[in-house]
Amino acid sequence: GQQVMQIPQYQHVQEGEDFTTYCNSSTTLSNIQWYKQRPGGHPVFLIQLVKSGEVKKQKRLTFQFGEAKKNSSLHITATQTTDVGTYFCAGTGGSNFGNEKLTFGTGTRLTIIP
Amino acid sequence: DAGVIQSPRHEVTEMGQEVTLRCKPISGHNSLFWYRQTMMRGLELLIYFNNNVPIDDSGMPEDRFSAKMPNASFSTLKIQPSEPRDSAVYFCASRSTPLAGAGEQFFGPGTRLTVL
């Protein structure tokens, strides 16, 4: 079955430093999503990428979808304490009809040192 | 909008007991998903419904787990009998028909289940 791995598993950064998490799938994805889960909270949708090579930005967050649609990355510029949490990628394979189930990555837990 | 509602928020039970988790999706959403989250296995999809019909239950661990969606505004996940290894946070999520891709899923606050 489809497997989605993320690295690193944990990341500790000083406030103001940049942060990047990488997501790799064992199979080609039709699209990929990113979610953020605060400690003790629930996953919250951040973005969806559909096209090969797509890049999207949300303020300090930059999301990329690889050309082969098997990997993705999330980069945060100048981290803030509000960025603390676990970041998950989630991919779907096969057709693009919206009925596909998401396979979540293993997550990267980000902690910020003030 | 109240968002996805789950109950109970916390459940502590003894091994062998029946556990029923409840979910009310966001009104107008036609897909509902049940997930389980543990440190060891991460976030796993158990089952999902489209228009109240189960589409994929391949993630349901074993026959002790069952899920129903009798109408568009209510779903249950039942574990009978429960075992300590079922201890986890169970999330319900809902989604409307997406225009592209898999579409945004809205997660509920989760039910933290502890089986002693």
Task: Classify residue B97 by its DSSP letter.
Answer: P
How does pLDDT run along chain B (116 residues), one tens digit per residue? Answer: 689 999 999 999 999 999 999 999 999 999 999 999 999 999 999 999 999 999 989 899 889 999 999 999 999 999 999 999 999 999 999 998 887 778 899 999 999 999 99
Contact B42/A107, CB-based, under 8 Å? yes
Inter-chain touch B102–A43, beta carbons under 8 Å: no
User: Whole-angstrom Cα distance, residue A113 to residue A85?
Assistant: 13
Task: List chain A residues with pLDDT less than 50.
Answer: 96-98
Q: Give the pLDDT of residue B34.
A: 97
- Cross-strand pairs, A113: A14
Task: Report angle CA B23, B111, B64 to the nearest 5 degrees.
Answer: 80
Smallest Cβ–Cβ distance between B45 and the set A99, A101, A107 belongs to A101
Residue with tokens 């510029």: A77
Cβ–Cβ under 8 Å, residues A48 and A98: no
Please report the residues numbered 14 through 53 in chain B whose beta carbons come closer than 8 angstroms to any beta carbon of chain A.
33, 42-45, 48, 50
Q: Copy the structure tokens of residue B14.
A: 């003894």
Q: State the pLDDT at residue A94.
A: 57
Q: Who among B43, B97, B106 is closest to A104 (CB)? A: B43
Taking CB atoms and an 8 Å limit, are A48 and B48 in contact across chains? Answer: no
